[in-house]
Amino acid sequence: MAAVPSTSETRRIARSGNRDADIDGEGGGHTLGRRTGPWYSSGMDSLPTTYDLPGTAEAGEAHGLAPDLSRKEAGAYFTPDAVAATLVRWAVRDRDDRLLDPSCGDGSFVAVHARSVGVERDAASAGLARARAPAGEIHVADFFAWAERTSERFHCAAGNPPFIRYQRFSGDTRERALKACRALGAEFSGLASSWAPFLVATAGLLRPGGRMAFVVPAEIGHAPYAAPLLEFAVSSFAIVHLVAIREKLFPDLSEDCWLLYAEGYGERTNEIRLTVLDRFAPSEEPPHTFERIDVNDWRGAWRRRLRPFLMTPAAREAYRRVADADGSLRLGEIASVGIGYVSGANGFFHLRPSQARHLGIPDALLHPTVRNGRALTGAVLSRADVDRWLEEDLPVLLLRLARTEALPPAVVAYLDGEAGREARTAYKCRVRSPWYVVPDVQVPDYLLSYMSGRRPNLVRNDARCTATNSVHCVRLRRPDLHSRLEAWGSPFVDLSCEIEGHPLGGGLLKLEPREATQVILNAPGRERPGEEDMFREAVATMRRWRHRVD
Ligand SMILES: C[S@@+](CC[C@H](N)C(=O)[O-])C[C@H]1O[C@@H](n2cnc3c(N)ncnc32)[C@H](O)[C@@H]1O
């Protein structure tokens, strides 16, 4: 192994171009501010822009790179040294092995092994990597462009790929990435975050029998786009081992991270190994205790999600038995679930009662609305709740205008007033005609919160409110199906919400409409003695994994 320059030392050089500068100093052209933790866990919003490493600025310009991409845009969250060392030490079997890090950042991984090749799009970060890994080979390039050119095949790879969401992972890089993956048999949808194609394209540069070890976002346990990656992994490696880690590897990132180890490139497997850990501990090898997940089970019963495997096998077995029992139904079988309306200018379209009176807007054109999940507290939303909102003069009256209707003078005056002239310039208003008719206003049978602390609230809409897209609108397929929803809030349904939804960060559970339709409503009386408690315990486990503290 190559000698690793101390992290703080290298990072000091990087910031100032001067070995004597202090990490907490505020000299130089870029104000770093004072921090107490390691710098990868600092609250810094963007990478420093005033590096003074030889050749760095020119190299950046030569590659046409923006010098000051924000950390988020660049997916630039650098890995703690202990994590990088753990992954590299396992991946490298022989001192002559050539190791690839496709997005080497400031060099945490390439610094651990002398015969390393790092690729990094950001010239400043690549400069840091060169300083930390003088024996390594660092290329300033878009990894996917570089991968097309290189003829080298590697013994192993390790790293922490950028987590750039699909909205920002665009242009040539994305095109190249998806093309490379397609050539390797992995087909990603337009919603794939960058890290998944990074892993596939990296695997494509391994020699037969090669290994790779990567930090991956915990989304690998539930995101639909993680499925093609895992399918690729099990059909390309002899062993695929995931280590789920509950405590954050990056205290600063809302994203939880897991570790992926894969070895025996060129072979295939029918199982995914999963180890579930509370916290990361440095090690030479992946943990020796793991569960073997049958790939067919993952594909079938668990709809290609690994998150259910965070609970105990006994809880999973009981869950499946109740889920498969006669009379258990998915929410989507009895109801449609969709988003509420998008007004485009909430401040304009949502009026307070006092404001509506002052403007003289007729009651018939105002519809009480649920603006967010906080309004969904009890099991029923009643007329008394709405009366209370009105007494409190809350802005809960949607100005509901129809395309065909003649507008009363008071409404015309409001639309043409200052607020109306501004509202019509909002994007959603500009792209519809007429701009003042809010589309998709509906009165659902139930309202469902979709970002929830403890559990998603399902509330019967006795008040006949409409709702914005901050909550979901649930409409029964037949009126006699109301009773099926009485199971909502049972330990089994709570668990089903945890399994079908996904963590959002900050302890929240998000339930997209597509996920909500998959929630299972158990037929009453199917649990065996003790199973309710088991489900309660499993719910508590899943909540701990999304950092919910009750
Ligand atoms: C999460 S950081 C990881 C850096 C380093 N491997 C570590 O863990 O400390 C991801 C890095 O990928 C780089 N990156 C983003 N897109 C890239 C691309 N298309 N090609 C090469 N590097 C890229 C970012 O600049 C960033 O430094």
For the domain that residue 88 is a member of, what is the CATH number?
3.40.50.150
Please give the distance, rounded to the nearest whole angstrom, from the Cα atom of residue 120 to the centre of ligand 1.
Answer: 6
3-state class percentages of the chain: helix first, strand second, coil last, to nearest 5: 35, 20, 45
Residue 6 has pLDDT above 50, yes or no: no
Cα dihedral sign, 522-526-528-529: positive
pLDDT digits (tens, 9 = 90+) for 378-434: 899 999 999 999 999 999 999 999 988 789 999 999 999 999 999 999 999 999 999
Any idea how long the chain is? 550
Ligand 1 in contact with 522 (CB < 6 A)? no
**CA neighbours closer than 13 Å in the CB half-sphere of residue 15:** 21
Q: What torsion do the CA atoms of 490, 491, 493, 499 make, to the nearest 10 degrees?
A: 160
pLDDT digits (tens, 9 = 90+) for 317-354: 999 999 999 999 999 999 999 999 999 999 999 999 99
Same domain for 85 and 198, yes or no, is yes
Same domain for 423 and 302, yes or no, is no
Ligand 1 in contact with 101 (CB < 6 A)? yes
Q: Which one is predicted more confidently, 57 or 415? A: 415
Cα dihedral sign, 55-60-61-62: positive
Residue 538 has pLDDT above 60, yes or no: yes
- Identify the domain containing residue 209 by its residue range: 7-310
Once rounded to an integer, what is the mean pLDDT over residues 30-45?
A: 25
DSSP 6: P
Residue 67 has pLDDT above 60, yes or no: no
- In a domain? residue 541: yes
Ligand 1 in contact with 521 (CB < 6 A)? no
Please give the distance, rounded to the nearest whole angstrom, from the Cα atom of residue 78 to the centre of ligand 1.
Answer: 8
101 Cα nearest atom in ligand 1: 6
Residue 207 has pLDDT above 50, yes or no: yes
pLDDT digits (tens, 9 = 90+) for 268-324: 999 999 999 999 999 999 999 999 999 999 999 999 999 999 999 999 999 999 999
- In a domain? residue 2: no
Same domain for 342 and 303, yes or no, is no
In the chain, how many domains are there? 2
Residue 12 has pLDDT above 60, yes or no: no
User: Is residue 64 within 8 Å of residue 56, measured between CB atoms?
Assistant: no
Residue 66 has pLDDT above 90, yes or no: no
Same domain for 294 and 435, yes or no, is no
Same domain for 303 and 346, yes or no, is no
Please give the distance, rounded to the nearest whole angstrom, from the Cα atom of residue 103 to the centre of ligand 1.
Answer: 4
Ligand 1 in contact with 81 (CB < 6 A)? no
- In a domain? residue 148: yes
Specify the pLDDT at position 442. 96
Reported as a pLDDT band with limits 50, 70 and 90, residue 446 is: very high
User: Is residue 83 within 8 Å of residue 38, measured between CB atoms?
Assistant: no
Same domain for 387 and 293, yes or no, is no
Ligand 1 in contact with 173 (CB < 6 A)? yes
69 Cα nearest atom in ligand 1: 25
H or E stretch at 473: strand 471-476
Specify the pLDDT at position 165. 83
**CA neighbours closer than 13 Å in the CB half-sphere of residue 513:** 14
Same domain for 445 and 298, yes or no, is no
Ligand 1 in contact with 257 (CB < 6 A)? no
Q: What's the pTM?
A: 0.83
Same domain for 259 and 206, yes or no, is yes
- In a domain? residue 23: yes
Ligand 1 in contact with 78 (CB < 6 A)? yes
- % of the chain exceeding 90 in pLDDT: 76
pLDDT digits (tens, 9 = 90+) for 223-262: 999 999 999 999 999 999 999 999 999 877 778 999 999 9
Specify the pLDDT at position 18. 28
Please give the distance, rounded to the nearest whole angstrom, from the Cα atom of residue 47 to the centre of ligand 1.
Answer: 12
Same domain for 260 and 373, yes or no, is no
Ligand 1 in contact with 159 (CB < 6 A)? yes
Specify the pLDDT at position 144. 96
